[in-house]
Amino acid sequence: MARTATVDDLRELILTGFKIGKPFTPYVPTLALPSPVGWVLDCGCGVGRHFSCVRTIGRHVAGFDLPPRIARCRELAQQVELLSDDWPSPKTRRFDLIFASLVL
């Protein structure tokens, strides 16, 4: 699905009800975080669904996921400094915050 679905179909798969107008409330931090932090890693970023939220927390955003999802994310994502499907790359960097939602 990550490779072939339209943007609206991806949103429908992630946010059931998107096509009929169901609103999506972006994540809001529930803990006080220093803002903005330096680097934030969205671990399991998929096609970049949470980047707008993560962007409000960090000055720099990186995304990590499986190769098909990162390939599609490269087409859809904006304002992300680093996208990787190769764990050794983000593993060598220092992140101030790691965000993971719906990953496990």
User: At residue 18, does pLDDT exceed 60?
Assistant: no
Give the pLDDT of residue 101: 82
Give, rounded to a whole angstrom, the gap between the first and last alpha carbons of the chain.
Answer: 19
Spatial separation of the C-alpha atoms in residues 18 and 57, rounded to whole Å = 25
For residue 6, name the pLDDT band (cuts at 50, 70, 90). confident
Domains of the chain: 33-104 (3.40.50.150)
User: At residue 42, does pLDDT exceed 80?
Assistant: yes
**According to DSSP H, which parts of the chain are helical?**
7-14, 51-57, 67-76, 88-91
More confident residue, 26 or 74: 74
How many CA atoms lie within 13 Å of 30's alpha carbon, on the beta-carbon side? 1
